[in-house]
Structure 1
Amino acid sequence: MALTEQQTAFAPAVRPKDRAYLAWATVATAYAIAFLQRVSPQSVSLNFMADFSTDAAGVAMLASSYFWGYTLMQIPAGILVDRFGVKRVVLFSMTASSLGSAAFALAPNLLDVFLARLVIACGDALVFTALLKLVALSFKDERFGVMSGISQVSGYVGGVLATTPLAAAVTGFGWRACFVFIACVGVANLAFASVALKPDPASHSTKTLKSVLAASRQSLSQLANWGCAMTFASHFAVVTTLSGVWGIPMVAHIFNISPSAASTPLLAFMIGNAIGSIFLGHMADRAAAALDMALIRICLLRMVLIAMLLPPVAHALGFLYVTVVFSALGLVAGGTVPLVLKCTKKLYTAELIGVGASVNTTAAGMFAGASQPVIGFAMVGVSQLAGTGHGTGSVGDAGYGALIGILLLMSLPGIAGPLLMRSKLIVR
């Protein structure tokens, strides 16, 4: 039977609603694979260093190649999705990611590793924007918040797989075999997506890159859209700095425990993040008439929770208290994303939501990246001035207190952003 006949036979057998969920599942799987790729270096670093006779600098190059490819492709990702539609972009993304994974597994030297990871990142950078576009086009507005929240969770599943499961597989089979297997999973998902995803509407053929760029420039001239970018950038930079950079060192310092023991509150944070993405995503659908106030309130709640982690308070109330606070922060962080995505859809409409998501992601990456050197310098400097550090470059209670203060300042755009969006959200 020809492929076209298979697709024809497949279509009537599946209800449109079921097909929408099947299509979503294929792109969500691609996003989980992308998330796994992003955080996988931590699980393969020792084997990687042994195979290539390199050190931590080589592992840093492995991570940075993905970071640069992913960041540089964010704005083109939105334009490509809005111009060419979901199916073509997703199939290209899956192809690039699978080929890159295979090339990475077979790479004979560090240069080939760098190029392979760059290819993987350029493919993976398209996935979440395409997934968001698919949700916007396939589900009713009343379901957008919860479906975008569940879409976020699919990425967290990939992140979990990249930790203990991947580390165990690398120990048993080697990192090259593991990435060949990941490539094979990607190819299988590509084959299924080619059937499950509906062809892009013919209306896409009337669009040109020039028209999409013109519409994008017009959108970026509106203050409300920059308010949306400010809101997401503030949330992302604050949460990433705390949960991805300084959370474990801070807990380990405060309670004088090992990093592995200190990871428990961060595990609670990730679990809370996944739960918040789903349940508060549902609330985002119910809060559609007051998104600005919902974002302001959730930002204020996040600030209160962050302030509750000040070292003197944590010392006094103990490890269980800190774990509970991180759990609550996870719920709040997970619930913020669907609210922002709901605003993005309202401001940019489903036609240009890809551009909106890319603008938000790029602004968030730039804010988070630019803030890290400032935070590090401030923490070390304050610790030395207060005499709470234990050697050059070390961080003490005063330094972590400075971290909390800076995170609170970085949260302020999360209050200003919704105010800038208010008039447009009400009009729409």
Structure 2
Amino acid sequence: MMALSGQQAVLPSAIRFIDRAYIAWGTVAIAYAIAFLQRVSPQTVSLSFMHDFGTDASGVAMLASSYFWGYTLMQIPAGLLVDRYGVKCVVLSSMAASAVGSAAFALAPSLLDVFIARLIVACGDALVFTALLKLVAQSFADERFGIMSGISQVSGYVGGVLATTPLAAAISGFGWRACFVFIACVGVANLAFASVTLRPAAGPQSNKTFKSVLLASCQALGSTANWGVAMSFASHFAVVTTLSGVWGIPMVAHDFNISPSAAGTPLLAFMVGNALGSIFLGHAADRANSLDGALVAICVLRMILIALLLPVFAHALGLFYVGAVFAILGLVAGGTVPFVLKCTKKLYTAELIGVGASINTTTAGIFAGLSQPVIAIAMIAASGLGSDGGHSIRTAASDSGYAALIGILLLMSVPGIIGPLLMRRKLILRS
């Protein structure tokens, strides 16, 4: 009887712990959704942004590039900060930076202020997913790590969905500045809730020091296979984020001469496809015999789908066709991340996966950041906009400009084919 009574006392305590774990996870997942929304919002804001600041495609490129640079600068220290100071400290700091940056962006009077505000937002957002994965590892059993990691990724795609048609509709009704003030307010409310639900770090997070992690990072840079997985992720991230997070809505709006709100529908389909792809192809990644071969096939399929978005095909086949291509592209893009994470774990092992994730994301951020000005220059040149500021405010680019965008995205996809080949041998040895 005493043993049974003890078991009954333990059971409610375990249930309360599990409930709190899910609630705490929910606050960080919301923060990641907001971060993802911030990342892909330039495509939705672009036309209003160009009008208000009297700029052209180069201004939108600056808006996107500033986020990529801030995100990149914080990637290397992200894993170390979480390991050293714990999830709660890092997440609360991240939420605060994101909220302050969102408010500053909404109130920015000049392009320089916009750049600084977006840099602040990005530095905060860069910490969220690493902290979310750490929280999952600490709060849930090993047999639930895979599914909870997948759902965590999906929480980001929810933010991506909100950044398409819903955000475009809100901007049409209230203006982009009011929308980002509201996003900042949501961030502050989530910060307050997280400060209550997240547990403080219990003792030293690990025996790792800043010096040991930096040393491991430097050693990892000497491995060709590790560069292969970094190239695979960088190609995926830069291409998909540029298309879905910067130029997708302006391109669709131009192709069919429709409002940004209506043009957000294909991108909404893309985000839904991302969520489904991350779950179903994530399940397939656990059972794939050849991870490198799968990544090459995924990259080639992604390139074909991107080519099918050329203006000549869009004009001929219509909006439903473009929406279908974006939906399939979303499935492929969503499924890429689990395969990359699987390769990262095999190459770095579980002990150094944080270092691997940091190197992958840093490489991706640098690639994406450097590519944005190049893309803008190519689009402006191909569109023949030149210094005609009035025309460039009304439209980001012409058919030729968006064809140039597609061509550059295809070139940016090439590292996604080379990367898996570089890591093939080491993956075989680790299998």
Shorter-chain TM-score tier = 0.7 to 0.9
Alpha-carbon distance between aligned partners in 2 of 1:44 and 1:383, rounded to the nearest angstrom: 21
Residue deviations 1:208-264 (CA, integer Å, cap 9, x gap): 211111112112221111111100111112112222333334334444444444333
Residue 69 of structure 1, CA deviation: 3.6
2:388 aligned residue: none
- 1:182 paired to 2:186: yes
The 3 A distance-change label for structure 1 pair 38 and 71 is same
The 3 A distance-change label for structure 1 pair 241 and 32 is closer
Residue 187 of structure 1, CA deviation: 3.0
The 3 A distance-change label for structure 1 pair 233 and 144 is farther
- Select between 223-232 and 74-83 the one with higher mean Cα deviation: 74-83
Residue 412 of structure 1, CA deviation: 1.3
1:414 aligned residue: 416
Alpha-carbon distance between aligned partners in 2 of 1:109 and 1:378, rounded to the nearest angstrom: 28
- Select between 316-325 and 67-76 the one with higher mean Cα deviation: 67-76
- Select between 21-30 and 253-262 the one with higher mean Cα deviation: 253-262
Q: Is the 8 A contact 1:105 1:179 kept in 2?
A: no
One-letter code aligned to 1:223: T
2:216 aligned residue: 215
Residue 125 of structure 1, CA deviation: 1.9
Q: Number of matched residues? A: 405
Q: Is the 8 A contact 2:105 2:113 kept in 1?
A: no
After TM superposition, the score normalised by the length of structure 1 is: 0.77
Provide the secondary structure at the position in 2 that maps to 1:14: helix
Residue correspondence of structure 1 range 380-399 to structure 2 within 5 A? 380-382=380-382, 395-399=397-401
Q: Is the 8 A contact 1:143 1:282 kept in 2?
A: no
Unaligned runs of 5+ in 2: 1-9, 385-390
Residue correspondence of structure 1 range 82-101 to structure 2 within 5 A? 82-94=83-95, 96-97=97-98, 100=100
Residue deviations 1:73-127 (CA, integer Å, cap 9, x gap): 12211232344443443344345556x3798599898899987765554333211
1:191 aligned residue: 195
1:331 aligned residue: 331
Residue correspondence of structure 1 range 55-74 to structure 2 within 5 A? 55=53, 68-74=69-75
1:279 aligned residue: 280
Provide the secondary structure at the position in 2 that maps to 1:221: coil
- 1:31 paired to 2:35: no
Q: Is the 8 A contact 2:64 2:246 kept in 1?
A: no
Residue deviations 1:147-190 (CA, integer Å, cap 9, x gap): 3332222123234446268659967x966973673254233332
With a CA cutoff of 8 Å and minimum separation of 6, indicate the structure with the bigger relative contact order: 2
Q: Is the 8 A contact 2:274 2:335 kept in 1?
A: yes
Alpha-carbon distance between aligned partners in 1 of 2:340 and 2:405, rounded to the nearest angstrom: 25
Alpha-carbon distance between aligned partners in 2 of 1:46 and 1:253, rounded to the nearest angstrom: 11
One-letter code aligned to 1:334: G
Unaligned runs of 5+ in 1: 1-8, 385-390
Over the aligned positions, Cα root-mean-square deviation in angstroms equals 4.3
One-letter code aligned to 2:227: W
Alpha-carbon distance between aligned partners in 2 of 1:353 and 1:260, rounded to the nearest angstrom: 40
Residue 417 of structure 1, CA deviation: 0.9
The 3 A distance-change label for structure 1 pair 40 and 230 is closer
Residue 333 of structure 1, CA deviation: 0.9
The 3 A distance-change label for structure 1 pair 11 and 80 is farther
Q: Percent identity?
A: 67
